[in-house]
Structure 1
Amino acid sequence: MLAYLRRRLLSGLVLLMAVTSLSFLLLYAGSGDVVRRILGGGATQEQIAAKSAELGLDEPVWTQFANWASGALHGDLGRSWFTGETVAEGIGNRLPVTLSLVLGTTLLTVVLSAVLGVWAATRGGTVDRIVQGMSVIGIALPGFVVALLLVTVFAVQLKLFAATGYTPLGDSPTQWLRAVTLPVIALALSSTVNLTQQIRGAVLDTLRQDWVRTLRTRGLPARRILFRHVLRNAAGAALTVLSLQTIGLLGGAVIIEQIFALPGIGQYAITATGGGDLPTIMGLVVMTTVMVVIINLLTDLAQGWLTPKARQI
């Protein structure tokens, strides 16, 4: 297991190096007018040259990347070119908001998908058709439409939840829950639909295996076969889908954060990208890549536990 973990960590490190270096080169190629945006349209050539030297933009691109990478290795992601705020502080202030959405959505998706998928696979008939119909509706409804409906009904009319804004968990767990419930439900809709279908199909395929029929002929209770054997064998494919969906939530949360006016990473990324704020964008690239590596690592470890043969890959 340790060798398996080392291989996964090494591949994650290679991915981080490749993504950051490529992102820096692409951002550098498009950063020609960023100094003028910082200083304004009335800046003189002398002012632009002085600001470029201050930011290090007059140096070769590889020197700039080496300087940035050296600072990043020591935990210094630089400062925003526009606000002067440290990138680490900017991300740290906003990351809990996005993580609340991503983790809450993932938890809700897992619970609902497992219940609906297993229910549809084991009951069949009318139950299966109902779940399939719910899936079609879930796929057809965009997340932002669901979000607007939830806000209108449960926040504006019934006033059960907050329509906009965010309260940190440490300040008030109740207000935090009121702030994140509707965004999490809106995000979980499409995720639950996809994962439910995956779990349903995997459970059906597993139930048709010869070894399952053998267990039944030996007189084992159906509930024990399902929960101790079938679900473990069917969980591998569902874990892969779940990991991809969790990674996708990092980007999908942007629209939901806008609708609910949540001060998360989404708005921060839009502002930084629109202004060409290279240090902030690179900080976000590092954060996103690290989260992707962590999610993939946890998925690989779970796959290795469920299927020991996977450790040899």
Structure 2
Amino acid sequence: MLQYILKRLASGVVLAVLITLLVFLLLSTSFDDVARTILGQSSTPESVDALMVDRGWDRPILVQYLDWLGAAARGDFGVSVYTSLPVGPAVIQRLAVTLSIIVPALIITSILSVLLGVWAASRGGAVDRFAQLVSLAGFIFPGLLLAIGLVVIFAVNLQWLPATGYTPFGEDPIAWVRSITIPVIVLVIAGVANMSAQVRGRMIDELSRDYVRTLRTRGISNRSIVLKHALRNAGSPALTVMSLEFIQMFGSALIIENVFALPGFGSYAFNASLQGDIPVILGVSAFGVVLVTIVNLVTDIANGWLNPKARIQ
């Protein structure tokens, strides 16, 4: 198992190198434009060339990337072109904001999806139709429209929750809960629509298998069959769906954070891409790949624990 974990981590490092190299090559074509943006409208070709030399952007592309990669391996991701702040600590701070929204949303989504999916698969009939209706409703309503609707109801009309902004947990836990409530609800509604349908389908497959019929002929209660046998066998695919849901929520953070003015990872990456802030773009790319690699690794280990057939020999 240790060897497998090391191999997966190594593959994640290689993937991070390849992605950041590709990003760097794509950004290298816009060094001149970034220099002109920094200098403003009064920039001259001479001042642009001087800034390029000062930033080291006139050197060979591969040399620049290897310098960045060596510094990143030591934990130094450079400084922002526009704010002159270290990229590494800024990315970690923004990532903490994003995870403080995604993690609660993923936990609530997983609990509701398992309950709804198992309930629908084991009961059938009207319960199953209700579960399918919930999934359909989650797919129909766009996340952006849903976010605006919730803001109008809870922030503007009822004034129960803030419409925008973020309060760190360390400053005021109650204010933190209030600031993330609407974003979490938006993510949960979209997540339950997808994940509950996956859990329901997997549970229906499990409950139709031969071993379930055998257990029923032996007089084992339906509750025990569903919770102790079918649910455990359906748990491995459900974990995979949960990891994919995490990645999807991570991608949705771009929209959520911009709608609610949250200083998170997605808005940080979006603003950096608009400004052409090369060190920040490279930093968020590297951190994003590492995070996805860790999530996939944890999912594989959990799958091995739930399903002995999937364990690494």
Q: Is the 8 A contact 1:232 1:306 kept in 2?
A: yes
What is the CA distance between 1:35 and its match in structure 2?
A: 0.7
Superimposed CA distance per residue, residues 207-249 of structure 1 (whole angstroms, 9 cap, x where no aligned partner) = 1111112222223332222222111111222222221121121
SS of the residue 1:30 aligns to? helix
Q: Is the 8 A contact 2:16 2:290 kept in 1?
A: yes
What is the CA distance between 1:198 and its match in structure 2?
A: 0.4
In 2, the alpha carbon distance for the partners of 1:278 and 1:221 equals 61
Superimposed CA distance per residue, residues 82-136 of structure 1 (whole angstroms, 9 cap, x where no aligned partner) = 1111111321332221111111211111011011101110111011111111211
SS of the residue 1:33 aligns to? helix
Name the counterpart of 1:43: 43
Unaligned runs of 5+ in 1: none
Q: Does 1:239 find its partner at 2:249? A: no
Shifted more, 281-290 versus 247-256: the winner is 247-256
Q: Is the 8 A contact 2:32 2:48 kept in 1?
A: no
Q: Does 1:218 find its partner at 2:218? A: yes
In 2, the alpha carbon distance for the partners of 1:11 and 1:76 equals 21
Superposed counterparts of 1:14-33, under 5 Å = 14-33=14-33
Name the counterpart of 1:289: 289
In 2, the alpha carbon distance for the partners of 1:259 and 1:308 equals 44
State percent identity of aligned pairs: 47
Q: Is the 8 A contact 2:304 2:311 kept in 1?
A: yes
Segments of 4+ moved more than 4 angstroms: none
Name the counterpart of 1:66: 66
Name the counterpart of 1:190: 190
Q: Is the 8 A contact 1:120 1:128 kept in 2?
A: yes
What is the CA distance between 1:78 and its match in structure 2?
A: 0.2
Q: Does 1:110 find its partner at 2:113? A: no
Cα distance change on mapping 1:311 and 1:30 into 2, 3 Å: farther
What is the CA distance between 1:312 and its match in structure 2?
A: 4.3
In 1, the alpha carbon distance for the partners of 2:179 and 2:224 equals 40
With structure 1 as the length reference, what TM-score do the two structures score? 0.96
Name the counterpart of 1:157: 157
Name the counterpart of 1:307: 307
RMSD of aligned alpha carbons? 1.5
Q: Is the 8 A contact 2:122 2:226 kept in 1?
A: no
In 1, the alpha carbon distance for the partners of 2:14 and 2:258 equals 33
Unaligned runs of 5+ in 2: none
Superposed counterparts of 1:64-103, under 5 Å = 64-103=64-103
Superimposed CA distance per residue, residues 244-265 of structure 1 (whole angstroms, 9 cap, x where no aligned partner) = 1211212211111122111112
Name the counterpart of 2:12: 12
Cα distance change on mapping 1:311 and 1:23 into 2, 3 Å: farther
Q: Is the 8 A contact 1:4 1:311 kept in 2?
A: no
What is the CA distance between 1:152 and its match in structure 2?
A: 1.0
In 1, the alpha carbon distance for the partners of 2:269 and 2:10 equals 28
What is the CA distance between 1:191 and its match in structure 2?
A: 1.2
Q: Is the 8 A contact 2:137 2:193 kept in 1?
A: no
Q: Is the 8 A contact 1:187 1:253 kept in 2?
A: no
